[in-house]
Structure 1
Amino acid sequence: MRWVEVAARRIAQHASRGRSGLEWPRFGSRETALRWGEPFGPTTWSRALAGRVGRPTGKARSKDGGSGGQGSKPATRGPIVALSPDQITEPKHELAQLLWKFGLPCGMDERENAFPIFYADSKIDMSLDDMKELMRTHCVACIKCTMNNTIVTMTDYKGAVKTQCSAGSVGFAGPKRGQPGRRAAACSRAAHARVGIPDVPCTSQYRALRAFASESKPHAQQQARPSQQAGTAGAPSVLGLNVASPQQQPPKAKRDPFPVLSGGKLDPSESFMTGTNAAVLEQMYDRYMEDPSKLHASWVAFFNNIEADVKPGQAVALSRQSRNQLSKIPASMTEGRDLFQVSEDTIKLMAMMRAYRHRGHLVADLDPLQLNDSIDVDDVLVPYISRKELEPSYYGFTEADLDREFVVSGEIPGPAVRKLRDVYNLLRESYCGKVGVEYRHMVSKEEKVWISSFVENPNKSKFSVAEKKIILEDLARAELFEKFLSFKHSTAKRFGLEGGESVIPGLLALVEHGAALGVENVIMGMPHRGRLNVLGHVVRKPLEQIFHEFTPHEDPDADQYLGSGDVKYHLGTSQEASLRNGRRVHFSLLANPSHLEAVDPVVMGKTRAKQFFTDDFDRRKTVAVTLHGDASFAGQGVVAEVLELSDLRDYTVGGTIHIVVNNQIGFTTDPRYARSSPYPTDVAKTVGIPIFHVNGDSAEDVVRVCMLAMEYRQRFGKDVVIDVFCYRRHGHNELDQPMFTQPLMYKRIKEHPTVLNVYAKQLISEGAVTEAEYKEMHDTIMAEFNKRFIAAKDWKPHMKDWLASQWKGIQSPHIFCSPRKTGVKEEHLREIGLKTCRLPTGFRAHPLIKKIFAERRTSIELGESIDWATAEAMAFGTLLAEGTHVRLSGQDCERGTFSQRHAVLHDQDKPSNYIPLNNLTPKQAKFRVCNSNLSEMAVLGFETGYSLESPNVLVLWEAQFGDFANGAQVIIDTFIAAGEKKWRRQSGIVLLLPHGYEGQGPEHSSARLERYLQMCDDDPDVVPDLDSESTKQIQECNWQVCNPSTPANYFHLLRRQIHRGFRKPLVVMTPKSLLRHPQCKSSLSDFEEGTSFIRVQPDVTPGLKAPHEIRRLVLCSGKVFFDLFRERTKRDVEDVALVRIEQISPFPYDLVAKEIRKYPNADLVWCQEESKNMGAWSYVLPRLETTLRHFDLNPSRRIRYAGRSPSAAPATGNALTHAEETTALLNASLH
C-alpha cells in the first residue's frame, strides 16, 4: 500500500539523517507507540482503532475512559514482544516489514487480533505535507488522537462514530458494524486533570482541519499544544503530531499553534466541523489552497481566519467585504436558520454532489433493452450502490428543502446560489441520464475538473437542426448498409453492426472533430463486428470493392502476390478522405486476425512510427483509435498490457481512443459469466483514465461523447474509453441462432425498434425533419447502394493499394530484386566502430564498462577478435550513418540480458546517461533502444506495427530468453509469420531469440527453433530456381530463420534486412555463451566491402584430410559447432568435416549440395543440441533428402541423427545429466 511505504520511507529518512542517533526503547517497555490499522481493502473501510496504549507509568485507567488515577482499574494490554522479519507475515504487518527492511525495530501486542505497534523516537516525524498526501490517497478524513496523547491513529470518516463523553470531549468508536453504542477513547474532565491535560474537547476533524490550514508554515518538529503541556511536554513527534512521553518534564507552556476551543465545550459556531462533514471540509480546503476564487466568500473568509490563527469560535467571523458579499444572498437561504445551520446543510449538499460524481453512473440509463427493468432497484443494491443514496432524503433534506437556495459557487457551473431542486435535477441529468461518467478515480485534479465542467454544463453540445440531420443521415447509411447486404447476400457471414449503428456517426464525429483539432492521420484497429460498415462509411473504402468481395472471383493479383488472402471482415485498407468540414484525413485500418484484441498493440506501434516519421513530437497529428467487444476487452490479457504501455516513454502514442461496442454478450456468454467487474471497461481504471458509458440508442449522446473523448485526448495526451451500451440484433453471425442460449434477451430485441427508427421518430417529433424528408433520404441512400453494387462487377484492385506511400520502390514477391553486398569500406567501418565505444569527456562510466569499451576499441584498431556485441553495434552504426532509423526493444535490452550490449551508459556520479549510437555523425538517423515493461505479446505487437509503417527502419525485438517469446505466440503466428500472405503487407521486423543449451534448465535453453521452422512455407519436396544468392527464394517465402555462429555473419544478416528491394521478417537464434566465447570472434576483413552474409559456412580448418578421405560430414547449426570443434580438436580427429548451416529457412539447397558433393565418400550426420522432436531435425531431414535426390548425390545415402532423445521438456535441469547428454551427442557425431 502506498501510505505504508510513505510512512516507512519517511521514518527511514529521519533515521538516516543522524540527528544524534536513534535511541529506540527496549522491547517490552511501555513506551509511547504509534499504532496503525489494517491496510484499506477494495470494498471495505479500514476499521477504526479503539483503545489506548497503556501509560508507561503503570497508572490505571479510569472507568470513564480517562488515564489512570487512584481507584482506577489497571490498564489491560498484553506485553509487547520483539518481532523478527520472518514472523511478520500478515498483510496488516506490511509496514512492519518495510521498517525492518530499513533497519528499524518494531514490536507487536500479543493480544489476539491486536494491531502491530511501532516504536517512535522524538527525532522521528512526518511533515504535514506527507500526512496530507497519506490521508488523501486513502480517503482518510481525520487524525484520531486520544486525550492522553499516547497514540496517534488514522481512520476513515465513514467508519468513525462520534461519541460525546460527560466532560464534553469527543471520542471516536469503530465502524457501524452492529456496535453503534461502543465507545472508545471517551474521556472526562477529571481524567484530563489527573494527567495534567487542560479541559478541552478533542474534535479530530477540527484538529485535522487546523493541521491542514497550517501546512504553509514551516514543518519542523511541531510545538506541543497547550492540551499536551502539563505532563506531556517534550513528547516524541510522530507524523508531524506530538505524542506524549510522560517521563519527561513539561517545559513552560507556549502558545498553541493550532488553537483549540476554550471553556471545555465545542463552540456552536464551529459545530459543522464534526462528524462526516470532515471529508467535505478537506475538499473545500483543497479548493481554497488551489484557487480561493472558486469558493464563495464565506468559505474564503473562514479559511483566511484559520490561516490567521484567530481565536476559537471566531473562525467563521467574516470580514466586512465578505459580509457585504453574503448580504447579496437571498433571504430565503437563511430564513429561519442561522448561518451555521446553512453551512452544515451546504456540506450535506456537497456530499450528495460527491455521490453523484462518484457513483451516479451506476444508475444511469445505459441499457437500450432495459434488461433489468423488472427489478425494484429502489429496494436492492445496484452493484455497489443503492439508488436511495442519490436522493436528497438520504442526506436529511425534506420536500420543503427542495426550494431552498444554497451557495454552490465553484462547485457546479452556473449561478453562485441555486435551489436544491435545480442542483438535484442538474446532477441527475448530468450523471444518471443516457451517459454515465467514471472519472473520480483519476489522479489529475485538472483533468477531473475539466471533465466535470463539461458534464455538468447544462448547455453542453446542443446540436443544430443541420447537425441533427447529419447524424440521422450517418445513422441511416449505417443501418441501411447492413440491410442491403442482408438482402443481397442472405447466406453470407458479415458480422454486422445491427444494434450498435450509432457507433458510425460517433466515429465520424470523432474524426471530424479531431481534424478541427489538428489530427491528420487516424490509425484504427477493430474486430470483425461492424468492420465492413466502418470500412465503407468511416475509412471510405470503395463500396464497390466491399460488394465485390462478397462474390466469388479470381484474384487479379495472383501473379504478383502468392498468398492465402483473408475473409472480407478481416481485411484492412489505407485511404485518404475528404471530410465535411473540408479537411483531409488519412485513414489506416489495420487488418486483423480472429484473435480478439491482438491488433491493439499493432495499432499503437504503427501510430508511434507514423508520429516519428512525420515529426509529430507532441503526438497531436496522428491518433490511434481501437474498437473492442465487451467480452474481449474484459477477458483478453493483452488489453491490460496495452494499457500499461500507454504512458511509457518509449511506447506512448499520446493517447488511444478506445471504443467498446458493448452488445452485452460474448458469443453465447452472458456478462455475469464473462467478467467479475460491473463493467467490461473496469480494467482501464488501473491507468487512471476517464471512462464514458453511453446508451447506444441515444445517437446524439454517442456523438457528443466521441467528440468529448477526442478533445480530452488532444488536450491531455492520454487514453480515453467510450463504452457504447448496445445489443446484437442477430447471433454471433447472421447464420447463428441466439434463441438457443438467450431466448428472453432476443425476444426483447425482436420487439425493440432499431436505432435509426428511434432517432428518426425523435427528430420528426421535434420538427427537425419531416416524414417526407426522411423517406427521401432513405430512398436516396438505397439507390446509391444499388448503383455501387452494379459497379462492383467491374471493380479491379491495384498494387498501389498495397504498397503505397513510404513503401514506394519496395517490390512484390514476383518482381526479382538483385542481391546486394552488405560489407562496408574499411575506413568508414573503423570510424563508426570506434565511435560506438567512445566515452565523452567528464562522463564517469562504471569501471567494468570502461574495460569492456577499451577491449572493443583495441579489437577494432587491430582488426581482430571482434566479438558479437561489437559487430552488432557496428551494424547498427553503419545503418544509422546511412540514414536508416534503428529501433531495438525488449526487456533489459539496453544493457542486454547477458550484460553484453551496454547501449545506454549511466554516469556513476550523477543522473545522466549517454548513448554512443546517437553520437556518431551529425546527419545520422535516430537510434532508439527501449527497455520494455514485462510484456511479450503487447511489446512484440507494438514493434510489429512499428515495422509496418515504413521500410526505412530496422525494428528489432529481443526476448529476454528465447522461449519467453511463446508469450507472444499470437502476434508471431498471425501477424509476422502469415501477415504478408494474408494481407499483402510487408514487414522487416527482426526477432532476436537467445538460444543454446548450457545446462540452465528447461525454460532458459531453447528458443523453440522448431516452431518457427514449422511455420515456414517453402516446399520440402521442391528445389526452387536458385541464383547465386537465392534472393528470389527469400522473396517468395514468408520469413527467414537463421542461426548465425560468427559476429561477422550476424553483422551482415542485420544489414541485409535493409539492403534489399523487399522486406521480410527475420527470426534469429542469438547466442548466450558465445557472446564471450574466445573462438566466436571475427576479423575486420570479414565486415569489409565486398563481403556479405554466408548462408552455409564450409569447414576451412587447416590440417584436415583431403575431401575424398573425409569419412563423415557433420551438418549442424549454431552453438553446437563450437562443442564439436573443441571435441574434434581434443581427440585429434582429422577425417570429420563440420559444416554450419547459418540460414536454415529458406533452405540453402544449392550450397548444401555443394558441400555434400565436396565429400563424396563421407556419410552424413545431422547434429543438434535439441531433443529429436525439437530443433531443426524435422525440418532439415526431408530437405536434405530432396537435395540428394535433386542433385543426384547418391539419394540412397542414409542421414543419421546425433542429438538428444525426444523429450517433453526442452532441456534437463540437472547439470550432470546435461553433461552426459552433451557427451553422448558428441560421441555420436564424431565416431
Structure 2
Amino acid sequence: MAYCQHIGVEFMFINDLDQCQWIRQKFERPGVMQFSLEEKRTLLARMVRSTRFEEFLQRKWSSEKRFGLEGCESLIPGSGDVKYHLGMYHRRINRVTDRNITLSLVANPSHLEAVNPVVQGKTKAEQFYCGDTDGNRVMSILLHGDAAFAGQGIVYETFHLSDLPSYSTHGTVHVVANNQIGFTTDPRMARSSPYPTDVARVVNAPIFHVNADDPEAVMYVCTVAAEWRATFHKDVVVDLVCYRRNGHNEMDEPMFTQPLMYKQIKKQKGVLQKYAEKLIAEGAVSRQEYEVRRSCPEPISCLHSHYVWCAGFFTLDGQPKSMSCPSTGLPEEELAHIGQVASSVPVEDFTIHGGLSRILKGRADMIKNRTVDWALGEYMAFGSLLKEGIHVRLSGQDVERGTFSHRHHVLHDQNVDKRICIPMNHVSPNQALYTVCNSSLSEYGVLGFELGFAMASPNALVLWEAQFGDFHNTAQCIIDQFISPGQAKWVRQNGIVLLLPHGMEGMGPEHSSARPERFLQMFTDDFEVRQLYDCNWIVVNCSNPANYFHVMRRQILLPFRKPLIVFTPKSLLRHPEAKSNFDQMLPGEKLFVCCCVSEGRFIYLFYLKLFTFYRTNSGV
C-alpha cells in the first residue's frame, strides 16, 4: 500500500507491472498533488454550495428524514449518501472541453446495491447503440455504501461481469461513501475483511482510500481514478472515508449504540470550515470573500426526472392511442428463407460436430414439410425481427447451445479453437445484429444487467433465460423491485422478456416449477378497469411453437412495452406432436396461449386477463 498525505492506495495485489508502475507515478512522486489557485477557489465554491444546500433542506424540512450529506460533504452531489431515487436526466456543458455531457441517474430502490447491474446493463446498451466499442463515450459511476459494498453479494456478481465480452462496460468508477457504520452495526460485526472495499480485489481493481475531510485529496484521487479508467478501461474504487454527523438519519439518535464514536464526531469541525480556514491561511481567499460567498443566496435548480421513452406509448397529443397491433404472421417465403439459414452453415471451410449435422438436416426436413419445432419457431421469430432492423439480445446461462441442447445458435469449428459462426447474423444483408451470450453463473446480477440493457431502447428484443425456471428465485429482488412495479413505481416501461423453463417432469424440486402462481399473484389487480395501461406485465405459457413465434414478434410490434414472462417447455422441445404448421404462422393468424396452474382461482384469473387483453388487441 502506498500513502500520499490523506490517501492510501491498495495495488500490490495487481499482477500487471505496467499498471503498478502507473499507480506509483501518481502517488509516490513528491509534489504530485498540486492545485492551482483557481482550482482551489472552485473547490471551495462547490463545498459552499453543497453545504448550503443541506442547510437549506434542514431549515425547510426540519422534521423530515433526508439522509443528509453532513460528514461526507466532499462527495458533493447534494443528495445524501442513501441512494434511492426516482431517477434523473440532465445535460450540462463541460467548461473545460466546451462539450455537452449527459448525466443519467438510474432509478433505484432501498434494496441496497440492487441497481448496480442495472446501471451496467444500461451503460452497455448506450455504448452498443452509439458504436462505442471501447467505452470512450459512455461510462458508469456507481455510488455505494460501505456496509452494503461489503455485505451484498450482488456487488461481487457485478464485479465478475466487468471483463466478460458481452457484459463489459470497459471500466467503472466505484465511489464508496464509507461512513464507518451501517445503521447501528459496527464494521467489526458487519464484515470479516479489514476494509469494506476488499471485494474489489477479485478483479484486480486498484483501491484508493481517501480522507473525506481533505477535499483536495478527494479531488486528486477522483481525477486519478478517472485517468485509470480512461487508460486501462478497468474498474477502480474510491473509498471515501467519512462519517454521518446526524446518524442514520436526522431523526435518529446514534448515541444509543455508538456513544464513543459520536462523542468524537461532535468535536469535529465541518469540512467546509476546515478547508476555508486552510485557504484563508494560505492567502488563496480572504475571510471577507469567504463570508460573502457563504451568505449569498443562490438559486436552487431542480433536475427533472427522465421518463426515457415510455411517455408517448399510450397518448398522442394528449389523447389515448389506438391499442391495435399489426399481424404477427409472416409470408411463407420468408419463413422458408429463415428456415434455410437455421439449417445451414453460412461459412466456408467450417467443420461442425457430426451430431449437429444431423440436427441441421432435421431442420431442413421440417422446412420441406412446412413444420417447425420449438427451436425453429424461435429462430423464425428472432430472424424475422433482425431482418426488420430490430436488435435481439439473448443472455443467460448456456443460452448459446441451450440448456437442453435444442438451440445451437452458436456453431463451433471442431478443428479451430475459438472459431465460431452465428448463422442468425446471416439472415439478411442489412439486418440488425443478433447478440447471444452465455452469462456467468449468476441470476441476480445478469437479470439486472439485461433489465438495464432493455431500458436503453424500446426498439430491441432483450431476453434473459434461466437455466431452469426455478432458478429465478435468486433474482427475485430484481423481479420484485424493478420488473413487476416498473411502471407504477419507477414511471418506466420496459419490454424485457424472461424465459423460464417449466414442467413437472420428475426432475426434482429445483428443476420443475417456475412458479407461475407467483407471477399471477403479482398481476395488477385492477387490470380489467384500465386494461393495458395498468397491466404490469404479460404472463404466458405457450401451447405450441407457433404461439411462441407470435408472442415473440408481438412483443416488438405492440405500440407499448410491458415485461413478458414466458414459461417455456422442456419435454415439448422435442416431442413429435409439439410442432406447428406454416399455416399457423402466416399473416392474419391469431395465437392462443394456454396456461395450466395448480390453483383453480389462478386459472380463472389468467384466462380472464387473457380474454380482456386479446379482445382489446384484436389485430393479433
TM-score, length-normalised on structure 2?
0.94
- What is the match of residue 503 of structure 2? 996
AA aligned opposite 2:553: R
1:649 deviates by 0.8
1:1069 deviates by 0.3
- What is the match of residue 453 of structure 1? 25
- What is the match of residue 742 of structure 1? 258
What is the correspondence of 1:591-630 to structure 2 with a 5 Å cutoff?
Answer: 591-630=107-146
Question: Of 678, 692, 698, which residue of structure 1 is paired with 2:194?
Answer: 678
Question: Of 918, 928, 946, which residue of structure 1 is paired with 2:435?
Answer: 928
Q: Is structure 2 residue 562 aligned with structure 1 residue 1064?
A: yes
- What is the match of residue 691 of structure 1? 207
Of structures 1 and 2, the one with the larger relative CO (CA 8 A, separation 6+) is: 2
What RMSD in Å do the two structures reach over aligned CA positions? 2.2
Query: Residues 650 and 1183 from structure 1, CA distance in 2 versus in 1: closer, same or farther, beyond 3 angstroms?
Result: closer
- What is the match of residue 529 of structure 1? 81
Query: Residues 1185 and 802 from structure 1, CA distance in 2 versus in 1: closer, same or farther, beyond 3 angstroms?
Result: closer
Partner deviation per Cα, 1:308-361 (whole Å, 9 max, x = no partner): xxxxxxxxxxxxxxxxxxxxxxxxxxxxxxxxxxxxxxxxxxxxxxxxxx4x5x
Contact kept? 2:176, 2:239, Cα under 8 Å: yes
- What is the match of residue 573 of structure 1? 88
Structure 1 CA distance, aligned partners of 2:102 and 2:167? 22
- What is the match of residue 614 of structure 2? none
- What is the match of residue 416 of structure 2? 910
1:824 deviates by 1.2
- What is the match of residue 117 of structure 1? none
Q: Is structure 2 residue 447 aligned with structure 1 residue 895?
A: no
Structure 2 CA distance, aligned partners of 1:940 and 1:832? 29
Structure 2 CA distance, aligned partners of 1:721 and 1:837? 48
Question: Of 63, 70, 73, which residue of structure 2 is paired with 1:501?
Answer: 73
- What is the match of residue 802 of structure 1? 307
- What is the match of residue 391 of structure 2? 885
Structure 2 CA distance, aligned partners of 1:874 and 1:736? 59
Q: Is structure 2 residue 219 aligned with structure 1 residue 667?
A: no
- What is the match of residue 1015 of structure 1? 522
Q: Is structure 2 residue 457 aligned with structure 1 residue 941?
A: no
- What is the match of residue 6 of structure 2? 434
Tell me, what secondary structure is at the counterpart of 1:1085? helix
Structure 2 CA distance, aligned partners of 1:964 and 1:475? 47
Question: Of 377, 380, 395, which residue of structure 2 is paired with 1:874?
Answer: 380
1:1095 deviates by 4.2
Structure 2 CA distance, aligned partners of 1:706 and 1:817? 49
- What is the match of residue 205 of structure 1? none
Query: Residues 741 and 808 from structure 1, CA distance in 2 versus in 1: closer, same or farther, beyond 3 angstroms?
Result: closer
AA aligned opposite 1:1087: M
- What is the match of residue 463 of structure 1? 35
Structure 2 CA distance, aligned partners of 1:815 and 1:445? 60
AA aligned opposite 2:181: I
AA aligned opposite 1:868: W
Partner deviation per Cα, 1:464-504 (whole Å, 9 max, x = no partner): 11110111111111111111101000111211111111012
Question: Of 310, 314, 330, which residue of structure 2 is paired with 1:824?
Answer: 330
Contact kept? 1:833, 1:877, Cα under 8 Å: no
1:574 deviates by 1.3
Tell me, what secondary structure is at the counterpart of 1:588? strand
Query: Residues 771 and 909 from structure 1, CA distance in 2 versus in 1: closer, same or farther, beyond 3 angstroms?
Result: same
What is the correspondence of 1:788-867 to structure 2 with a 5 Å cutoff?
Answer: 801-804=306-309, 810-811=313-314, 815-839=321-345, 840-864=347-371, 866-867=372-373
What is the correspondence of 1:293-442 to structure 2 with a 5 Å cutoff?
Answer: 358=1, 360=2, 431=3, 433-442=5-14
Unpaired stretches in structure 1, ≥5 consecutive residues: 1-357, 361-430, 509-526, 532-568, 1026-1032, 1097-1116, 1119-1167, 1189-1231
Query: Residues 590 and 1185 from structure 1, CA distance in 2 versus in 1: closer, same or farther, beyond 3 angstroms?
Result: closer
Partner deviation per Cα, 1:272-311 (whole Å, 9 max, x = no partner): xxxxxxxxxxxxxxxxxxxxxxxxxxxxxxxxxxxxxxxx
AA aligned opposite 1:1180: I
Tell me, what secondary structure is at the counterpart of 1:1034? coil
Structure 1 CA distance, aligned partners of 2:180 and 2:502? 45
Contact kept? 2:69, 2:80, Cα under 8 Å: no
Contact kept? 1:918, 1:927, Cα under 8 Å: yes
Contact kept? 1:1035, 1:1064, Cα under 8 Å: no
Partner deviation per Cα, 1:736-773 (whole Å, 9 max, x = no partner): 11111111111111111111111111111111001111
AA aligned opposite 1:1079: E
Structure 1 CA distance, aligned partners of 2:299 and 2:275? 22
Query: Residues 475 and 528 from structure 1, CA distance in 2 versus in 1: closer, same or farther, beyond 3 angstroms?
Result: closer
Structure 2 CA distance, aligned partners of 1:1185 and 1:756? 62
Structure 2 CA distance, aligned partners of 1:1036 and 1:918? 37
Question: Of 942, 946, 957, which residue of structure 1 is paired with 2:464?
Answer: 957
Structure 2 CA distance, aligned partners of 1:474 and 1:528? 15
Aligned pairs, number: 605
What is the correspondence of 1:1071-1220 to structure 2 with a 5 Å cutoff?
Answer: 1071-1095=569-593, 1117=595, 1168=597, 1170=598, 1172=599, 1177-1181=600-604
Structure 2 CA distance, aligned partners of 1:1179 and 1:774? 67
Partner deviation per Cα, 1:86-143 (whole Å, 9 max, x = no partner): xxxxxxxxxxxxxxxxxxxxxxxxxxxxxxxxxxxxxxxxxxxxxxxxxxxxxxxxxx
1:1185 deviates by 9.3
1:827 deviates by 1.2
AA aligned opposite 1:710: A
Question: Of 42, 46, 50, which residue of structure 2 is paired with 1:474?
Answer: 46
Tell me, what secondary structure is at the counterpart of 2:160? helix
Structure 2 CA distance, aligned partners of 1:821 and 1:976? 27
Tell me, what secondary structure is at the counterpart of 1:1058? helix
1:778 deviates by 1.4
Structure 1 CA distance, aligned partners of 2:123 and 2:21? 29
Structure 2 CA distance, aligned partners of 1:484 and 1:1186? 49
Structure 1 CA distance, aligned partners of 2:605 and 2:538? 18
Tell me, what secondary structure is at the counterpart of 1:721? strand
Structure 2 CA distance, aligned partners of 1:1186 and 1:1036? 12
Structure 1 CA distance, aligned partners of 2:284 and 2:377? 71
Unpaired stretches in structure 2, ≥5 consecutive residues: 612-620
What is the correspondence of 1:754-793 to structure 2 with a 5 Å cutoff?
Answer: 754-780=270-296, 782-785=297-300
- What is the match of residue 618 of structure 2? none
Structure 1 CA distance, aligned partners of 2:186 and 2:556? 49
Structure 2 CA distance, aligned partners of 1:726 and 1:959? 41
Structure 2 CA distance, aligned partners of 1:778 and 1:481? 11
- What is the match of residue 707 of structure 1? 223
1:1079 deviates by 1.0
Structure 2 CA distance, aligned partners of 1:884 and 1:1048? 20
Contact kept? 1:875, 1:1054, Cα under 8 Å: yes
Contact kept? 2:520, 2:606, Cα under 8 Å: no
Query: Residues 1056 and 746 from structure 1, CA distance in 2 versus in 1: closer, same or farther, beyond 3 angstroms?
Result: same
Question: Of 1018, 1040, 1045, which residue of structure 1 is paired with 2:538?
Answer: 1040
Higher Rg of the two aligned structures: 1
1:837 deviates by 2.1
Tell me, what secondary structure is at the counterpart of 1:457? coil
1:1088 deviates by 1.3
1:856 deviates by 0.9
Q: Is structure 2 residue 144 aligned with structure 1 residue 721?
A: no
Structure 2 CA distance, aligned partners of 1:464 and 1:528? 29
- What is the match of residue 327 of structure 1? none
Structure 2 CA distance, aligned partners of 1:985 and 1:730? 34
Structure 1 CA distance, aligned partners of 2:519 and 2:610? 21
What is the correspondence of 1:61-72 to structure 2 with a 5 Å cutoff?
Answer: none
